[in-house]
Amino acid sequence: MASRVIPVKPFDLVIFGGTGDLALRKIIPSLYRRFLAGQMPPQARVIGAARRDLDTEAYRRMALSALEEFVAEEKRDPEKIAAFIEMLSYIRLDARGETGWNELAEALREGVIRVFYFSVGPGLFADLARRLVKHRLNDADSRVVVEKPFGHDLESARALNAVLAKCFDEHHIYRIDHYLGKETVQNLMVVRFANTLFEPLWNAQYVDHIQITVAETVGVAGRGEYYDRAGAMRDMVQNHMMQLLCLIAMEPPSLFEADAVRDEKLKVIRALDPVPPENIVRGQYARKGDIPSYREDVGNPESTTESFIAMEVHVSNWRWSGTPFYLRTGKRLKARVSEIAVIFKEPPHSIFGRRLPNHAGNMLVIRLQPNEGMVLNVTIKEPGPGGMRLMEVPLDMSFAEALGENGADIPDAYERLIMDVIRGNQTLFMRGDEVEAAWAWADPIIAGWEERGDEPLPYEPFGSGPEDALMLMHRSGRRWREISDEL
């Protein structure tokens, strides 16, 4: 089954922050992989821009070592790499000064798509937007890609949206949430809306509850300064987990088209209830042996920022009234896993008498990482004579196995998203009002912690987070799925 690749139109892609971690680790390797797949036309050009005093040759060497480090060996074809590297150039440019802008104006070609990728700290987004306009570099066919974090709260997100709106039309702005570029996340929409099997059951009448887990084993060392100002709520819940919740909970859009999908997601965010303190558990990882604690990792002995959060959330609308959504994310947990589990209700009456011990009922697990795939738990008869004993078996679909060569070759989220930007498809990017609505929901929760001087609960590294997170579910007779990288 050969995968179908349709080349995109020629483009000039400017990576502001072209020497940074994201550019070298993700953007350039993703572009190379699309080049290798035949999707990037030979006329495409990539311009790295940053303050560092480099020339194009030095930048190409930098990109080459990034490819050696971040592209799998079997994908490193020396001829292809050489051809790809030829497409790169470098301009020394300051987002906050005049250096480099005239050179950039000269380098950009007429008649090809222009993409301006803001791969710099968020403090520079507004500077870049204003200078692009001042130098008249954006045209009717330009796209502007804005990295996360998009604001720190509602006020800052609004201010950033206002600057962008002054400089560009909304249909030129691509706010990245790389979770939306993951294969399984898009599959979530296909599973829901291209099958008759699930959608009739996808509501409070049949779904007992939904769990969304994003667990990591790593701590925050290396990102401590940023993370300690953000915490799990800003870093994960307000953006990535909110997007997953929206895709799970939204009504069917009339079309798989950017605004139709984003309108439905926005309705979900607006239907979220405020979350009372008793429905939230915050945690912070403690020291274990040689593994430093959160406070040691961020170098702030009095930090009250959470590295773990679990919460019960309610979507107040006709479809979901009475079905809780449980969100859980944290650092230094047992395994690295991102998944969504939809737990269906028990049948209304069991003709087989007693329920099974530990019967989990029907459950659909959608796994984002690792090993992207889906599992549907069904109840069957335990084989053999001797009465009617029931057991649960998983109907298991690992994409890598089921899709053979194509499944093993699922493109990285950034590959898909960058190609979507060039194609002008905004479906997998957040609209300004969506981001603001998510902050409008998150802000009062964070403000409540600050007002109450809330202290996160310490938890032991490489476990499941604080005990109280288990209680959040136990109190209603439910339980979390085990944090495990096994499906």
Query: What is the token pair recorded at 349?
Result: 């009456």
Q: Which of 46, 91, 104, 120 binds ligand NAP (CB under 6 A)?
A: 120
Given the rule CB under 6 A, which of 12-20, 70-78, 235-243, 425-433 is the region that contacts ligand NAP?
12-20
Close Cβ partners of 27 (under 8 Å, ≥ 6 residues apart): 15, 117, 119, 414, 418
Given the rule CB under 6 A, which of 50-58, 163-171, 324-332, 452-460 is the region that contacts ligand NAP?
50-58
Q: What string marks each residue from 309 to 348 as x (binds ligand NAP by CB under 6 A) or -?
A: ----------------------------------------
Q: Which residue has the tokens 């593994």?
A: 291
Give the DSSP H or E segment for 461.
none
Close Cβ partners of 466 (under 8 Å, ≥ 6 residues apart): 281, 283, 308, 457, 458, 459
What's the closest the beta carbon of residue 27 comes to ligand NAP, in angstroms?
9
Query: What is the token pair recorded at 290?
Result: 């040689």
Q: What phi and psi values does residue 426 have, to the nearest 5 degrees?
A: -95, 5
Q: Which of 81, 95, 245, 428 binds ligand NAP (CB under 6 A)?
A: 95
Given the rule CB under 6 A, which of 106-114, 119-127, 234-242, 290-298 is the region that contacts ligand NAP?
119-127
- The residue with its CB nearest to ligand NAP is 20
240 is catalytic: yes
Q: Which of 13, 20, 308, 435 binds ligand NAP (CB under 6 A)?
A: 20
What's the closest the beta carbon of residue 15 comes to ligand NAP, in angstroms?
8
Can you name the residues that pair with 89 across neighbouring β-strands?
A: 47
Long-range contacts of 467-475 (CB under 8 A, 24+ apart): 468/281, 469/281, 469/283, 469/308, 469/310, 469/328, 471/281, 472/279, 472/281, 472/310, 472/311, 472/312, 472/326, 473/326
Q: Which is nearer to ligand NAP, 75 or 223 (CB)?
A: 223
Q: Report the alpha-carbon distance of residue 232 to residue 284 in Å, rounded.
A: 10
Q: Does 119 bind ligand NAP (CB under 6 A)?
A: yes
What's the closest the beta carbon of residue 118 comes to ligand NAP, in angstroms?
7
Q: What string marks each residue from 53 to 92 as x (binds ligand NAP by CB under 6 A) or -?
A: ----------------------------------------
Q: Which is nearer to ligand NAP, 18 or 465 (CB)?
A: 18
What's the closest the beta carbon of residue 128 comes to ligand NAP, in angstroms?
8
Torsion-angle region of 299 (φ positive above 0: left; ψ -120 to 50: alpha; else: beta): left
What's the closest the beta carbon of residue 299 comes to ligand NAP, in angstroms?
18
The burial of 470, by beta-carbon neighbours within 10 Å (0-12 exposed, 13-18 middle, 19 or more buried), is given as middle
Q: Which is nearer to ligand NAP, 13 or 22 (CB)?
A: 22
Q: Does 22 bind ligand NAP (CB under 6 A)?
A: yes
Q: Which of 12, 17, 40, 60 binds ligand NAP (CB under 6 A)?
A: 17
Given the rule CB under 6 A, which of 56-64, 115-123, 290-298, 344-352 is the region that contacts ligand NAP?
115-123
Q: Which is nearer to ligand NAP, 333 or 417 (CB)?
A: 417
Q: Report the alpha-carbon distance of residue 310 to residue 330 in Å, rounded.
A: 9
User: Could you tell me which of 186, 179, 170 has the C-alpha nearest to residue 148?
Assistant: 179
Which is catalytic among the residues 172, 178, 209, 240? 240
Gyration radius of the chain's alpha carbons: 24
Q: What is the DSSP string of 42-86?
A: TT-EEEEEESS---HHHHHHHHHHHHHHHS-GGG--HHHHHHHHT
User: Could you tell me which of 436, 468, 426, 477 has the C-alpha nearest to residue 152?
Assistant: 436
Residues in 127-186 that interact with ligand NAP by CB under 6 A: 147-149
3-state class (DSSP) for residue 318: coil
Given the rule CB under 6 A, which of 20-28, 130-138, 367-375, 451-459 is the region that contacts ligand NAP?
20-28
Residues in 365-394 that interact with ligand NAP by CB under 6 A: none
Close Cβ partners of 405 (under 8 Å, ≥ 6 residues apart): 1, 2, 3
Q: Which is nearer to ligand NAP, 19 or 323 (CB)?
A: 19
Q: Which of 121, 299, 322, 347 binds ligand NAP (CB under 6 A)?
A: 121
Q: Which is nearer to ligand NAP, 181 or 283 (CB)?
A: 181
Q: Report the alpha-carbon distance of residue 157 to residue 373 in Å, rounded.
A: 34
For binding to ligand NAP (CB under 6 A), which residues are involved? 16-23, 50-52, 93-96, 119-122, 124, 147-149
Q: Which residues are catalytic?
A: 240
